[in-house]
Amino acid sequence: MFDARLRPLIDRPLNAAGERLARLGIGANTLTFLGLAIGLCGSFAIALGHLWLGLAFVIANRLFDGLDGAVARVRGATPLGGYFDIVADFAFYVSVPLAFGFLDPDNTKAALVLVASFVLTGVSFLAFAVIAAERGEETAAHGRKSFFYSTGLAEGTETIIVFIVFTLFPAWFVPVAYGYAVLCLLTVFQRSALAVFQFRD
């Protein structure tokens, strides 16, 4: 919902940093894997109860996620890079609610529901991208990407805001997780309705 609106604000500094990193010979895939490692370290820290450290790693993960795309725009995006990027994103996304499930057994059911909603949202996102690519459709709403990015109510920005709320207010995990799972499911219905409209022959 907010990702496309934030692009004009973050693209200029990210692209400048990406150009510097590319000149240093740092590849986009390297940043993708470093970002994933940092994000998983954050989830591990959360599971052990080190919430502030986990929060720092979560924010750092998102920085690396922006930088790998910026470097790819300088050096040239590749299908393999796009594949690694989306797999790393979803590996990180599901690791955070699982970490809160390990942190407190009372969070387990809500964490599982949230992970399940992430899976459904991811499936709808990727299925839409595949069909859009087959039809030759393109969008620049989220910047230059390796494949079609469809807009939804629950996107990366909203997910990170929820993760920050989890770490700052862990006692709110269960209601916030259930609430965000509902928003993810609404995103699946929204994207499905868009597919009916856009892919109807």
The count of residues in the chain is 201
Question: Which H/E stretch holds residue 167?
Answer: helix 156-168
Q: Are 58 and 96 in contact (CB under 8 A)?
A: yes
Q: Within 13 A of 6's CA, how many CA atoms are on the CB side? A: 12
pLDDT tens track, the chain, 201 positions: 544 555 655 667 777 888 888 888 888 999 999 999 999 999 999 999 999 999 999 999 999 998 988 898 888 888 898 899 999 999 999 999 999 999 999 999 999 999 999 999 989 888 888 888 787 766 555 445 555 566 677 788 889 999 999 999 999 999 999 999 999 999 999 888 888 888 876
Range of the domain at 110: 3-198
Q: Report the predicted TM-score, pTM, of the whole model to 2 decimal places.
A: 0.85
Considering its fold, how many domains does the chain have in total? Answer: 1
CATH code for the domain of 12: 1.20.120.1760
Q: Are 29 and 80 in contact (CB under 8 A)?
A: yes
